[in-house]
Protein backbone atom coordinates (compact mmCIF):
# COMPACT_ATOMS: atom_id res chain seq x y z
CA UNK A 1 0.00 0.00 0.00
CA UNK A 2 1.31 3.39 -0.89
CA UNK A 3 -0.53 4.98 2.01
CA UNK A 4 -1.92 3.86 5.32
CA UNK A 5 -4.55 4.99 7.79
CA UNK A 6 -4.15 5.71 11.50
CA UNK A 7 -7.30 3.64 12.13
CA UNK A 8 -7.90 4.55 15.75
CA UNK A 9 -10.82 6.15 17.61
CA UNK A 10 -10.04 8.97 20.06
CA UNK A 11 -12.13 10.54 22.81
CA UNK A 12 -12.52 14.33 22.54
CA UNK A 13 -9.73 14.97 25.08
CA UNK A 14 -7.41 12.38 23.58
CA UNK A 15 -7.92 13.88 20.14
CA UNK A 16 -7.20 17.39 21.41
CA UNK A 17 -3.87 16.27 22.91
CA UNK A 18 -3.07 14.19 19.82
CA UNK A 19 -3.61 17.16 17.50
CA UNK A 20 -1.61 19.46 19.76
CA UNK A 21 1.32 17.03 19.50
CA UNK A 22 1.34 16.74 15.70
CA UNK A 23 4.05 18.39 13.62
CA UNK A 24 2.66 20.06 10.49
CA UNK A 25 6.09 20.94 9.06
CA UNK A 26 5.64 18.58 6.08
CA UNK A 27 2.09 19.59 5.13
CA UNK A 28 -0.10 22.23 6.69
CA UNK A 29 -3.69 22.82 5.53
CA UNK A 30 -5.33 26.24 5.45
CA UNK A 31 -8.85 25.23 6.51
CA UNK A 32 -11.28 22.40 7.25
CA UNK A 33 -14.06 20.93 5.08
CA UNK A 34 -17.07 19.37 6.81
CA UNK A 35 -18.92 16.39 5.31
CA UNK A 36 -21.59 13.84 6.17
CA UNK A 37 -21.15 10.23 5.10
CA UNK A 38 -24.79 9.98 3.88
CA UNK A 39 -24.06 6.29 3.18
CA UNK A 40 -23.71 4.80 5.72
CA UNK A 41 -26.41 6.65 7.66
CA UNK A 42 -26.86 6.63 11.43
CA UNK A 43 -29.66 4.14 10.89
CA UNK A 44 -27.19 1.81 9.16
CA UNK A 45 -24.55 2.24 11.92
CA UNK A 46 -26.58 2.50 15.14
CA UNK A 47 -23.47 1.70 17.22
CA UNK A 48 -21.03 3.75 15.20
CA UNK A 49 -18.05 2.33 13.34
CA UNK A 50 -16.23 -0.84 14.36
CA UNK A 51 -12.53 -1.35 13.55
CA UNK A 52 -13.74 -3.67 10.77
CA UNK A 53 -15.93 -0.92 9.29
CA UNK A 54 -12.90 1.37 9.28
CA UNK A 55 -10.76 -1.24 7.54
CA UNK A 56 -13.55 -1.69 5.00
CA UNK A 57 -13.62 2.07 4.35
CA UNK A 58 -9.86 2.01 3.84
CA UNK A 59 -10.23 -0.87 1.37
CA UNK A 60 -12.98 1.03 -0.41
CA UNK A 61 -10.77 4.10 -0.96
CA UNK A 62 -7.74 2.05 -1.96
CA UNK A 63 -10.01 0.16 -4.39
CA UNK A 64 -11.01 3.45 -5.99
CA UNK A 65 -7.33 4.08 -6.64
CA UNK A 66 -7.34 7.17 -4.42
CA UNK A 67 -4.10 8.44 -2.91
CA UNK A 68 -5.82 9.17 0.40
CA UNK A 69 -9.24 9.63 2.02
CA UNK A 70 -11.00 11.99 4.44
CA UNK A 71 -8.91 12.61 7.56
CA UNK A 72 -11.56 12.08 10.24
CA UNK A 73 -14.72 10.01 10.62
CA UNK A 74 -16.73 11.15 13.63
CA UNK A 75 -19.34 8.76 15.05
CA UNK A 76 -21.55 8.57 18.18
CA UNK A 77 -18.60 7.50 20.35
CA UNK A 78 -15.69 9.61 19.23
CA UNK A 79 -13.27 10.62 16.51
CA UNK A 80 -11.67 8.10 14.17
CA UNK A 81 -8.49 9.25 12.43
CA UNK A 82 -8.07 7.68 8.99
CA UNK A 83 -5.92 9.75 6.62
CA UNK A 84 -3.01 11.07 8.74
CA UNK A 85 -3.56 14.74 9.56
CA UNK A 86 0.06 15.39 8.58
CA UNK A 87 -0.64 14.47 4.93
CA UNK A 88 -3.10 15.64 2.31
CA UNK A 89 -6.20 13.50 1.94
CA UNK A 90 -8.87 13.07 -0.72
CA UNK A 91 -12.37 14.38 0.04
CA UNK A 92 -13.20 17.59 -1.91
CA UNK A 93 -12.03 18.10 -5.51
CA UNK A 94 -10.95 21.75 -5.27
CA UNK A 95 -9.49 21.64 -1.81
CA UNK A 96 -7.59 18.40 -1.19
CA UNK A 97 -4.22 20.15 -1.19
CA UNK A 98 -5.24 22.83 1.29
CA UNK A 99 -7.74 21.32 3.74
CA UNK A 100 -8.50 18.65 6.30
CA UNK A 101 -11.62 16.60 5.56
CA UNK A 102 -13.96 15.80 8.46
CA UNK A 103 -16.72 13.25 7.84
CA UNK A 104 -19.65 12.96 10.23
CA UNK A 105 -21.50 9.65 10.30
CA UNK A 106 -25.09 10.33 9.23
CA UNK A 107 -27.42 11.42 6.45
CA UNK A 108 -28.29 14.90 7.66
CA UNK A 109 -30.58 15.60 4.75
CA UNK A 110 -33.17 13.63 6.76
CA UNK A 111 -31.56 12.44 10.03
CA UNK A 112 -31.67 14.94 12.93
CA UNK A 113 -28.42 16.68 13.85
CA UNK A 114 -29.71 18.19 17.11
CA UNK A 115 -31.27 15.12 18.77
CA UNK A 116 -30.63 11.41 19.32
CA UNK A 117 -27.50 9.83 17.85
CA UNK A 118 -27.00 12.80 15.51
CA UNK A 119 -26.53 15.06 18.53
CA UNK A 120 -23.82 12.72 19.84
CA UNK A 121 -21.99 12.91 16.52
CA UNK A 122 -22.46 16.67 16.55
CA UNK A 123 -20.85 16.96 20.00
CA UNK A 124 -17.72 15.02 19.00
CA UNK A 125 -17.52 16.84 15.66
CA UNK A 126 -17.69 20.28 17.29
CA UNK A 127 -14.95 19.25 19.72
CA UNK A 128 -12.77 17.89 16.90
CA UNK A 129 -13.29 21.04 14.80
CA UNK A 130 -12.34 23.19 17.80
CA UNK A 131 -9.09 21.22 18.28
CA UNK A 132 -8.27 21.52 14.56
CA UNK A 133 -9.09 25.24 14.41
CA UNK A 134 -6.87 25.92 17.40
CA UNK A 135 -4.03 23.94 15.85
CA UNK A 136 -4.20 26.05 12.66
CA UNK A 137 -5.01 29.32 14.38
CA UNK A 138 -8.13 29.27 12.20
CA UNK A 139 -11.23 31.30 13.00
CA UNK A 140 -14.25 28.91 13.03
CA UNK A 141 -15.77 31.12 10.32
CA UNK A 142 -13.09 29.66 8.04
CA UNK A 143 -14.66 26.19 8.19
CA UNK A 144 -16.21 25.28 4.82
CA UNK A 145 -18.97 22.85 3.91
CA UNK A 146 -18.33 20.34 1.13
CA UNK A 147 -21.24 21.72 -0.92
CA UNK A 148 -19.40 25.06 -1.14
CA UNK A 149 -16.72 23.43 -3.31
CA UNK A 150 -17.61 24.65 -6.83
CA UNK A 151 -16.33 21.39 -8.36
CA UNK A 152 -18.20 18.91 -6.18
CA UNK A 153 -21.22 16.90 -7.27
CA UNK A 154 -22.19 16.49 -3.58
CA UNK A 155 -24.25 19.66 -3.63
CA UNK A 156 -26.03 19.04 -0.33
CA UNK A 157 -23.14 17.69 1.84
CA UNK A 158 -23.12 17.80 4.90
CA UNK A 159 -26.96 17.85 4.71
CA UNK A 160 -29.48 20.63 5.25
CA UNK A 161 -29.98 19.79 8.95
CA UNK A 162 -26.39 20.94 9.53
CA UNK A 163 -26.57 24.74 9.76
CA UNK A 164 -23.33 26.55 9.15
CA UNK A 165 -23.93 29.48 11.50
CA UNK A 166 -24.78 27.05 14.31
CA UNK A 167 -21.66 24.97 13.66
CA UNK A 168 -19.30 27.95 13.64
CA UNK A 169 -20.91 29.40 16.80
CA UNK A 170 -20.64 26.07 18.62
CA UNK A 171 -17.00 25.63 17.55
CA UNK A 172 -16.15 29.14 18.74
CA UNK A 173 -17.71 28.32 22.11
CA UNK A 174 -15.89 24.99 22.35
CA UNK A 175 -12.57 26.67 21.57
CA UNK A 176 -13.07 28.93 24.57
CA UNK A 177 -13.99 26.15 26.98
CA UNK A 178 -11.56 23.48 25.78
CA UNK A 179 -8.82 22.85 28.29
CA UNK A 180 -5.58 23.80 26.61
CA UNK A 181 -2.90 21.21 27.39
CA UNK A 182 -0.60 23.56 29.24
CA UNK A 183 1.73 20.85 30.51
CA UNK A 184 4.93 20.37 28.53
CA UNK A 185 7.26 17.43 28.17
CA UNK A 186 10.86 18.59 27.76
CA UNK A 187 13.14 15.92 26.26
CA UNK A 188 16.93 16.08 26.66
CA UNK A 189 19.22 13.75 24.70
CA UNK A 190 22.87 12.83 24.92
CA UNK A 191 25.32 15.06 23.11
CA UNK A 192 23.03 18.06 22.94
CA UNK A 193 24.20 19.84 26.10
CA UNK A 194 21.46 21.73 27.88
CA UNK A 195 19.50 22.26 24.64
CA UNK A 196 16.28 20.20 24.69
CA UNK A 197 15.77 17.89 21.70
CA UNK A 198 12.09 18.79 21.76
CA UNK A 199 9.26 20.22 23.83
CA UNK A 200 6.10 18.17 23.36
CA UNK A 201 2.55 19.03 24.57
CA UNK A 202 1.28 16.65 27.26
CA UNK A 203 -1.81 16.16 29.40
CA UNK A 204 -2.03 14.98 33.00
CA UNK A 205 -4.59 12.33 33.77
CA UNK A 206 -5.01 10.71 37.18
CA UNK A 207 -1.60 12.02 38.15
CA UNK A 208 0.20 10.58 35.09
CA UNK A 209 1.48 12.41 32.01
CA UNK A 210 0.34 11.39 28.52
CA UNK A 211 1.68 12.54 25.16
CA UNK A 212 1.61 11.58 21.49
CA UNK A 213 3.75 8.50 20.86
CA UNK A 214 4.76 9.84 17.45
CA UNK A 215 5.88 13.20 18.85
CA UNK A 216 7.89 11.46 21.60
CA UNK A 217 9.34 8.94 19.14
CA UNK A 218 10.65 11.66 16.83
CA UNK A 219 12.20 13.59 19.70
CA UNK A 220 13.59 10.67 21.69
CA UNK A 221 14.78 8.38 18.90
CA UNK A 222 12.54 5.51 19.98
CA UNK A 223 10.46 3.73 17.32
CA UNK A 224 6.68 4.04 17.72
CA UNK A 225 4.03 1.66 16.41
CA UNK A 226 1.54 4.15 15.02
CA UNK A 227 0.42 7.28 16.77
CA UNK A 228 -1.50 7.21 20.03
CA UNK A 229 -1.80 9.11 23.27
CA UNK A 230 0.34 7.02 25.62
CA UNK A 231 1.77 7.24 29.11
CA UNK A 232 5.07 9.14 29.09
CA UNK A 233 6.46 6.78 31.74
CA UNK A 234 5.62 3.63 29.81
CA UNK A 235 7.02 5.07 26.58
CA UNK A 236 10.22 6.77 27.79
CA UNK A 237 10.75 5.31 31.28
CA UNK A 238 13.22 2.58 30.36
CA UNK A 239 15.66 4.96 28.64
CA UNK A 240 14.93 8.33 30.20
CA UNK A 241 14.78 9.51 33.78
CA UNK A 242 11.62 11.52 34.36
CA UNK A 243 11.00 14.39 36.73
CA UNK A 244 7.82 16.44 37.17
CA UNK A 245 8.06 20.07 38.21
CA UNK A 246 4.85 21.58 39.53
CA UNK A 247 6.52 25.01 39.54
CA UNK A 248 7.11 25.05 35.77
CA UNK A 249 4.26 22.63 34.86
CA UNK A 250 6.80 20.60 32.91
CA UNK A 251 7.87 16.97 32.80
CA UNK A 252 11.63 16.73 32.24
CA UNK A 253 12.89 13.61 30.45
CA UNK A 254 16.66 13.17 30.46
CA UNK A 255 18.31 10.39 28.47
CA UNK A 256 20.16 8.04 30.84
ZN1 LIG B 1 -18.87 15.57 1.44
Which pLDDT score is estimated for 182?
66
Rg (CA), the chain: 19
Among the candidates 177, 201, 229, a domain finishes at 177
93 and 151 in contact (C-beta within 8 Å)?
A: yes
One DSSP character per residue, 152-210 reads -S-TTTT-TTS-HHHHHHHHHHHHHHSPP--EEEEEE-TTSTTS-SEEEEEEEETTEEE
Which pLDDT score is estimated for 179?
60
Q: Give yes or no: residues 168 and 105 share one domain.
A: yes
Q: Give yes or no: residues 50 and 94 share one domain.
A: yes
Q: Is 137 inside a domain boundary?
A: yes
Give residue 143 CA to ligand 1 midpoint distance, Å.
13
Give residue 148 CA to ligand 1 midpoint distance, Å.
10
Give me the number of domains the chain comprises. Answer: 2
Give residue 35 CA to ligand 1 midpoint distance, Å.
4
Q: Give yes or no: residues 43 and 137 share one domain.
A: yes
Q: Is 3 inside a domain boundary?
A: no
Give residue 105 CA to ligand 1 midpoint distance, Å.
11
Q: Give yes or no: residues 39 and 160 share one domain.
A: yes
44 and 75 in contact (C-beta within 8 Å)?
A: no
Q: Give yes or no: residues 171 and 206 share one domain.
A: no
Q: Digits of tens for pLDDT over the chain (256 positions)?
A: 579 999 999 999 889 888 988 889 899 999 999 999 999 999 999 999 999 999 999 999 999 999 999 999 999 999 999 999 999 999 999 999 999 999 999 999 999 999 999 999 999 999 999 999 999 999 999 999 999 999 999 999 999 999 999 999 999 999 987 665 568 999 999 988 789 999 998 887 767 888 888 889 989 999 887 777 889 999 999 999 999 998 888 999 999 9
Give residue 194 CA to ligand 1 midpoint distance, Å.
49
Give residue 174 CA to ligand 1 midpoint distance, Å.
23
Which pLDDT score is estimated for 226?
74
Q: Give yes or no: residues 189 and 172 share one domain.
A: no
Q: Is 1 inside a domain boundary?
A: no
Which pLDDT score is estimated for 178?
67
CATH code of 23's domain: 3.40.80.10
Q: Give yes or no: residues 171 and 192 share one domain.
A: no
Q: Is 89 inside a domain boundary?
A: yes
Which residues constitute the domain of residue 154? 8-177
Q: Give yes or no: residues 49 and 80 share one domain.
A: yes
Give residue 16 CA to ligand 1 midpoint distance, Å.
23
Residue 251 φ/ψ, nearest 5 degrees: -105, 125
Q: Give yes or no: residues 131 and 153 share one domain.
A: yes
Give residue 100 CA to ligand 1 midpoint distance, Å.
12
Give residue 38 CA to ligand 1 midpoint distance, Å.
9
Which pLDDT score is estimated for 117?
97
Q: The whole model's pTM is what?
A: 0.76
Give residue 10 CA to ligand 1 midpoint distance, Å.
22
Among the candidates 162, 177, 192, a domain finishes at 177
Q: Give yes or no: residues 243 and 172 share one domain.
A: no
Q: Give yes or no: residues 198 and 148 share one domain.
A: no
Give residue 8 CA to ligand 1 midpoint distance, Å.
21
Q: Give yes or no: residues 200 and 244 share one domain.
A: yes
Among the candidates 177, 207, 223, a domain finishes at 177
Amino acid sequence: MAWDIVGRRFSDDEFDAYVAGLSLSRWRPDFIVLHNTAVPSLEQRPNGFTPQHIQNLYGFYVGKGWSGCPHLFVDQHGIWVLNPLTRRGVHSPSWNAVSWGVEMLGEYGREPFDAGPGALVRGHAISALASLCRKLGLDPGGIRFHKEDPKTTHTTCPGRNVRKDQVTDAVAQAMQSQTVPTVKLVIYRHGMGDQPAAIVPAVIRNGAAFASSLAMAEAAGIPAEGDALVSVRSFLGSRYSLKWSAATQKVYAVER
